[in-house]
């Protein structure tokens, strides 16, 4: 018995050593929250903003976003554009990978070709709808060999990119991780499929190095990369990511000082605002994520039939009180949106004004006006010869309760304002939700889309006939024509005309109520008062820590 | 005995095969597919499906899978969701869940036995009632609720342990999850131990032993506990598998990179990762079957009468 007691004491004392919280504060150590696991550190596999954020911590691309979200040179010291806007020449600066090898133009070529050859999830961004890199579509379709991709090296420090059309936002596109370099020798020395699955299989050239990571891990440790070309700018020694799936847990961990940056939900924001201490830590950051209703116009599996009628769609869209949604249900600083393009995104290069700055532009078709909505409904009823419409509203309910509350609010608003319309709520896991929207087995879906690059086209290409998989099954020749002209056609080179043509496209879209915009997301962050310099962006890389400081 | 074990082994393999088959079919029926479709075109998804052979008839796919499994690889050996290799990641996660599982089994069985024996020795008295209340509470309170409670008091109110799991401080991070996981084991073991012991203590051979003058620890250890152990081992075995295969909610709350969390992420992430779900399903089933097999052999060691019966 005595032996046992002695053992117990020994174990207890072993456990107690090294205990005690409060390790996150100070010493250049920053601990930030992620809301879900990162998908992958391989840019060819990543699909989520969290992955892109961590990749961008560790790898620099040709360009990077500055504090205001403008693209400024990173690994490229500067660049030249040919007169026709179809050839970009990037001059690389002296920079090395963490293993001491030089960063060369070949590293970019290798990474870009790999995206096309492996038809990665973001391969489309190389192709004719976005970057328009010469021959990218044919390489992705495996019609020609990857050597024909329009990207060449002149010496080790000059990268030439040939485009099929002038792409006005090409430099800002270079901030996106799909265009980051990968060291070819290093990659080839690894076992197949193992790139980016551990600190040993991931090579950085950026501000931080990977210190501890396994795929699916709930915590990721990064340390400062002293061989980074701009190391003088980086003051953090340690950057830790912690996945916290419940926001209650996040709030407690923030109070406990385990986290320096926590994301909280709408209900918590109200409580935090009433707390004199915590309210000083609250920062609401607007994002580029647009939440909208997608109407299925294709009649399949008994879904979407009545929604082929534009007046019914317009009736629903005008019966929703978006201000009430954000003020009473979302409550995290998100803003009601009446355009197909989110607020605070895609600033005009000449005027500096955001594309969606004028929210009243389409108020004749997107607004909250019960009389107008009922008018549309009467037209729909006579056109369809029906009095009652029973529609289902689907949404993914596994990422917090905000969307659940929004769905309930939309149901009560639509049913209250439009007699005869019934919305049946159908919450489901995200995997099933994605399955339903891609197989047209839905009537109305609460959808969201985040921009991949800093141009309205990242949204507009969603609704073309050839558009993405969450398709409303709407097809309009005029719309398609404008989009084609703005991407690979004549307008691509004419900035002002392109800009106004995109407003024309947006009008077609909203007059037909292909979608019903709801609100632009904001993120309510709690940030420790001793932390400064974290940069927030609405496109591609949501948070950057190169200039972050902990006092 | 060898023949008996061989027979059991073959049965186990057949069971495993049946499980794989059912799992394989069920996963395909489940809503969702392995590709996070938002940014891939239909053409690209089709190409991926062709590459992975997902277009073939399901029975052909199953045959392919079994032949790859014989070759020691779970499907094509990578996650369909992010292309990462399965084996090293699963091993890492298994290791984490195992370590915490073992801690909680040791703790749970030990405490459970002590509570059970105490209750049996004081049957009908105050201590017995107290032990019963404790063990009923243990069954009723879900382990993750207890975990949240521990997290709140012992790392938020009194910062004794890390708020989230920290692999670099394994032992102090493991205390709270191991304790909460052991709650169920404690109460189950305690209840069974008490009931079995009470029964055994009323039996004639214990009365005889007492009459011969045996008492105290010697009596408990030699005669009572040994006879009471068989049913207890039977309830512990499935508990062991439960604890080793991770705790989905606790791993999620506390941020432990274990197999429970891995399984949930594979099913309820953006896409359904067929390869991961199957691989984990196979490993979990194999563990369960393996432990049950071990258990049958253990019976023979604890109680030679069972060994004799098997021979007949």
Other Cβ atoms within 10 Å of B13 Cβ, number: 12
- B270 contacts A469? CB cut-off 8 A: no
Which residues in chain B (246-265) have CB-CB distances under 8 A to chain A? 252-253, 255-257, 261-262, 265
Residue by residue, DSSP assigns B207-229 as: HHHHHTT--HHHHIIIIIIHHHH
**The model's pTM:** 0.86
Tokens of B86: 């399965």
Interface of A with B in 444-483 (CB under 8 A): 452, 468-470
Distance between B160 CA and the closest CA of chain A, angstroms = 5
> How far is residue A312's CA from residue A513's CA, in Å, rounded to a whole number?
9
Q: What is the pLDDT of residue A407?
A: 95
| B162: nearest CA partner in chain A | A21
- A203 close to A103: Cβ distance less than 8 angstroms: no
Q: SS3 for B245?
A: coil
Size of interface A-B (CB pairs under 8 A): 163
User: Residue B4 pLDDT > 90, yes or no?
Assistant: no
Greatest Cα pair distance in chain B: 84
pLDDT-based confidence at residue B266 (cuts at 50, 70, 90): confident
Q: In angstroms, rounded to a whole number, what is the distance separating the alpha carbons of residues A362 and A358?
A: 9
Contact A256 B269 (CB under 8 A): no
Using an 8 Å CB-CB cutoff, list chain B residues near A434: 32-33, 36-38, 270-271
**Distance (Å) from the alpha carbon of A253 to chain B's nearest alpha carbon:** 7
Supply the angle between the helices B86-121 and B274-302 in degrees, to the nearest 10: 40
Question: In this complex, which of A21, A245, A436 lies closest to B155 when CB atoms are compared?
Answer: A21
Phi-psi group of A187: left, alpha or beta (phi > 0 → left; psi -120 to 50 → alpha; rest → beta): alpha
Q: Report whether B176 contacts B202 (CB < 8 A).
A: no
HSE, side-chain direction, 13 A CA sphere, residue A301: 10
Taking residue A163's Cβ as centre, other Cβ atoms within 10 Å add up to 24
B181 in Cβ contact with B247 (< 8 Å): yes
Read off the tokens for B281. 């399903």
pLDDT tens digits, one per residue of B97-156: 989 999 999 999 999 999 998 898 888 889 899 988 888 888 888 888 999 999 999 988
Is a pLDDT exceeding 80 seen at residue B298?
no
State the DSSP string of A16-41.
Answer: HTT--S--SSSTTEEEEEESS----S
- pLDDT by position in tens, chain A (length 551): 445 555 554 554 444 444 444 444 456 889 999 988 888 899 888 888 899 999 999 999 999 999 888 889 999 999 999 998 899 999 999 999 999 999 999 999 999 999 988 877 788 889 888 889 999 989 988 889 999 999 999 999 999 999 998 888 899 899 999 999 999 999 999 988 889 999 999 999 999 999 999 888 889 999 999 999 999 999 999 999 999 988 888 999 999 889 999 999 888 998 999 999 899 999 999 999 999 999 988 876 666 678 889 999 999 999 999 999 999 999 989 999 999 999 988 888 888 899 999 999 999 999 999 999 999 999 999 999 888 999 999 998 877 788 999 999 999 999 999 999 999 999 988 878 887 887 778 899 999 888 888 899 989 988 888 765 556 678 888 999 999 888 888 888 888 999 999 999 999 999 999 999 999 999 999 999 999 999 999 888 899 999 999 98
CB A544 within 8 A of CB A534: yes
Share the mean pLDDT of chain B. 84
Cβ atoms of residues A24 and A254 within 8 Å: no
Cα(A374)–Cα(A319) distance, integer angstroms: 8
A145 DSSP 8-state letter: -
Q: Are strands A421-428 and A158-162 parallel, antiparallel or unpaired?
A: unpaired
Find the CB nearest A469 among B37, B83, B252: B37
Q: How far is CA B34 from CA A124, A432, A488, B19, B288, in A?
A: 19, 11, 33, 21, 27
CB contact under 8 A, A469 and B252: no
* Per-residue confidence (pLDDT) for residue A18, from 0 to 100: 41
pLDDT of the residue at A320: 95
pLDDT, mean of residues B149-169: 88
Task: Spell out which residues of chain A touch residue B31, defining contact as CB-CB under 8 Å.
Answer: 428-429, 431-432, 435-436
Distances (CA, A) of A348 to A286, A345, B86: 18, 9, 46
Which residue carries 């959808």 as its tokens? Answer: A447
List A395's β-bridge partners, or say none: A427
CB A395 within 8 A of CB A445: yes
Question: Which of B44, B164, B175 has the CB atom closest to A119's CB atom?
Answer: B44
In whole angstroms, give the CA distance from residue A214 to residue B91: 11
Q: Which of B48, B156, B162 sits opposite A252 (nearest CB)?
A: B156
| Contact status, residue B23 vs residue B281, Cβ threshold 8 Å | yes
User: In 3D, which of B298, B204, B270, B20 has the Cα closest to residue A49?
Assistant: B270
Residue with tokens 């961590």: A54
Position of tokens 């709520």? Answer: A425
pLDDT value, residue A34? 92
Q: Does residue A456 sit in helix, strand or coil?
A: coil
Closest residue by Cα to residue A517 from A364, A290, A332: A290
- Asked if residue A479 lies in contact with residue A506, where contact means CB atoms within 8 angstroms, the answer is no
Given an 8 Å threshold on Cβ–Cβ distance, is A469 in contact with B41?
A: yes
What interface predicted TM-score (ipTM) does this complex get?
Answer: 0.81
Residues 4-33 of B with CB under 8 A from A: 31-33
Strand (E) or helix (H) holding B170: helix B170-201
B40 and A121 in contact by Cβ < 8 A? yes
Q: What is the pLDDT of residue A60?
A: 95
pLDDT of residue A298: 80
């Amino acid at each position: 018995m005595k032996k046992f007691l002695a053992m117990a004491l020994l174990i207890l004392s072993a456990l107690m050593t090294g205990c005690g919280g409060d390790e996150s504060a100070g010493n250049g150590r920053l601990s930030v929250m992620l809301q879900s696991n990162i998908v992958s550190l391989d840019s060819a596999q990543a699909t989520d903003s969290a992955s892109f954020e961590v990749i961008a911590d560790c790898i620099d691309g040709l360009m990077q976003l500055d504090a205001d979200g403008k693209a400024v040179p990173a690994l490229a010291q500067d660049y030249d554009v040919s007169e026709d806007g179809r050839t970009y020449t990037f001059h690389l600066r002296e920079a090395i990978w963490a293993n001491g090898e030089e960063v060369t133009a070949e590293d970019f070529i290798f990474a870009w070709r790999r995206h096309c050859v492996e038809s990665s999830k973001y391969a489309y961004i190389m192709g004719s709808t976005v970057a328009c890199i010469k021959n990218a579509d044919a390489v992705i379709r495996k019609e020609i060999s990857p050597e024909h991709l329009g990207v060449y090296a002149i010496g080790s420090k000059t990268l030439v990119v040939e485009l099929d059309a002038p792409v006005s936002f090409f430099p800002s596109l270079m901030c996106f991780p799909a265009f980051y370099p990968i060291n070819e020798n290093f990659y080839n020395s690894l076992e197949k499929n193992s790139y980016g699955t551990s600190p040993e299989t991931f090579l950085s050239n950026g501000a931080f190095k990977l210190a501890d990571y396994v795929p699916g891990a709930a915590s990721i440790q990064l340390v400062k990369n002293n061989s980074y070309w701009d190391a003088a700018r980086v003051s953090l020694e340690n950057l830790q990511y912690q996945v916290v799936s419940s926001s209650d847990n996040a709030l407690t961990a923030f109070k406990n000082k385990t986290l320096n940056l926590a994301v909280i939900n709408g209900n918590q924001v109200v409580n935090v605002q009433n707390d004199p201490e915590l309210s000083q830590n609250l920062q609401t950051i607007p994002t580029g994520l647009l939440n909208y209703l997608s109407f299925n116009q294709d009649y399949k599996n008994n879904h979407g039939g009545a929604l082929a009628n534009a007046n019914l769609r317009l009736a629903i869209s005008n019966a929703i009180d978006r201000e009430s949604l954000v003020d009473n249900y979302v409550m995290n600083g998100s803003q009601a949106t009446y355009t197909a393009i989110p607020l605070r995104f895609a600033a005009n290069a000449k005027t500096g004004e955001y594309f969606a700055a004028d929210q009243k532009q389409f108020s004749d078709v997107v607004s909250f006006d019960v009389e107008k909505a009922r008018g549309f409904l009467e037209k729909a009823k006579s056109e369809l010869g029906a009095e009652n419409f029973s529609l289902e509203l689907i949404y993914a309910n596994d990422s917090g309760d905000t969307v659940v509350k929004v769905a309930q609010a939309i149901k009560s608003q639509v049913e209250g304002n439009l007699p005869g319309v019934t919305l049946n709520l159908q919450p489901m896991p995200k995997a099933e939700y994605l399955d339903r929207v891609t197989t047209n087995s839905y009537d109305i879906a609460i959808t969201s889309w985040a921009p991949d690059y800093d141009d309205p086209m990242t949204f507009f290409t969603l609704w073309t006939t050839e558009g993405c998989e969450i398709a409303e099954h709407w097809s309009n020749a005029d719309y398609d024509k404008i989009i084609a002209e703005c991407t690979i056609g004549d307008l691509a080179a004419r900035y002002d005309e392109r800009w106004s043509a995109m407003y024309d496209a947006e009008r077609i879209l909203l007059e037909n109520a292909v979608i019903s915009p709801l609100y632009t997301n904001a993120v309510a962050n709690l940030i420790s008062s001793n932390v400064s310099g974290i940069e927030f962006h609405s496109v591609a890389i949501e948070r950057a820590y190169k200039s972050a400081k902990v006092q | 005995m060898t023949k008996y074990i061989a027979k059991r082994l073959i049965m186990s393999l057949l069971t495993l095969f049946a499980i794989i088959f059912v799992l394989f079919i069920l996963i395909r029926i489940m809503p969702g597919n392995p590709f996070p479709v938002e940014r891939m075109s239909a053409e690209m998804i089709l190409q991926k499906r062709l590459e992975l052979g997902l277009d073939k008839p399901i029975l052909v796919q199953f045959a392919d899978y079994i032949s790859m499994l014989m070759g020691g690889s779970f499907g094509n050996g990578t996650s369909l969701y992010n292309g990462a290799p399965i084996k090293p990641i699963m091993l890492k996660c298994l290791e984490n869940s195992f370590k915490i599982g073992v801690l909680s089994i040791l703790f749970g069985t030990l405490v459970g036995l002590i509570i059970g024996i105490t209750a049996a020795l004081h049957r009908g008295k105050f201590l017995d009632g107290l032990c019963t209340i404790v063990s009923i509470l243990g069954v009723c309170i879900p382990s993750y609720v207890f975990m949240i409670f521990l997290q709140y008091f012992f790392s938020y109110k009194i910062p004794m342990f890390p708020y989230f799991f920290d692999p670099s401080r394994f032992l102090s991070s493991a205390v709270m999850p191991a304790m909460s996981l052991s709650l169920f084991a404690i109460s189950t073991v305690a209840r069974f131990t008490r009931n079995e012991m009470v029964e055994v203590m009323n039996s004639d051979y214990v009365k005889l032993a007492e009459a011969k003058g045996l008492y105290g620890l010697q009596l408990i250890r030699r005669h009572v506990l040994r006879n009471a152990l068989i049913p207890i081992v039977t309830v512990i075995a499935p508990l062991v598998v439960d604890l080793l295969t991770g705790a989905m909610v606790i791993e999620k709350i506390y941020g432990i990179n274990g197999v429970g969390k891995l399984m949930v992420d594979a099913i309820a992430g953006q896409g359904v990762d067929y390869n991961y779900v199957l691989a984990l399903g196979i490993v979990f089933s194999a563990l369960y079957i393996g432990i049950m097999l071990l258990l049958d052999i253990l019976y023979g060691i604890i109680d030679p009468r069972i060994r004799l019966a098997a021979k007949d």
